Amino acid sequence: MANPTTSLKPKMKKVGKYDWGVALLTKKSNNAAAELKQVLCEVGDSIRLSWGGDKWMLDILLLKSEADYVLCNTKDASGVAYQLAPLSSSGQVEFNCQNQGVYFLTSSHGCELGHKLRVQVTNMEKTKDLRAMFNTETGKHHYTYPMVAKEFLIPADFDGGFSSDETADEALKFLWCVTPHTPLSCSDWLPASVEENVCLALLESDIGY
């Protein structure tokens, strides 16, 4: 019989569920800037996209580059994208978050319906020791970039700005706390191949958000 004090429990896979057929409620709809709210997915977890009962036939494409995503370039689908699900009045796809990095999902309708979704695959295991340390300046444990993005930056980007000046100040405070610990404080967001100056550039851009 295994010793209960030493046996390890396997990590439970989390599945985030999202409605791919949902109407995009944003003033930016029907143009290249329109997209759904960015999703964070931890390595080993997955997201499930489903749709049905809509007037549109939908599919799901995984674009090969951010440039094609920004420009809604899906016309040459065989060259710029992998098809995860064919055009259908209803369907479901589970996207497994296996490798850290950003992934760009869209449909053949692209900008017309705002079916654009960035999926950022994170690896929080890389920063568990840093996040366990207490930061006396903030009164909380150390934040890393995905934590700031999830709590402040992603909502602000989707909503067209921070909800208040106080929230903006909080975001800025935690971004400044992330900066001294680069590249480690970005390592759970950026792939290992990305250099420290990329992390610093990302933070500096957001500090001037």
Which string of DSSP letters, residue by residue, matches 125-177? GGGHHHHTSEETTTTEEPP-HHHHIIIIIHHHHHHTS-SSHHHHHHHHHHHHH
In the predicted model, what is the mean pLDDT of residues 136-146?
90
pTM above 0.95, yes or no: no
| pLDDT given at position 54 | 66
**Residue range 63-116, pLDDT digits in tens:** 989 998 988 888 765 577 889 999 998 999 999 999 999 999 998 876 777 788
Sheet (strand 90-96) strand order: 15-19, 46-52, 90-96
Domains and CATH numbers, the chain: 28-122 (2.60.40.420), 124-207 (no CATH)
Residue pLDDT, tens place only, 1-53: 334 443 445 567 889 998 887 754 444 445 556 788 999 999 999 999 998 87
Instruction: Give the CA distances from residue 75 to residues 21, 80, 114, in Å, rounded to whole numbers and listed in that order.
Output: 21, 8, 16
pLDDT at residue number 185 = 94
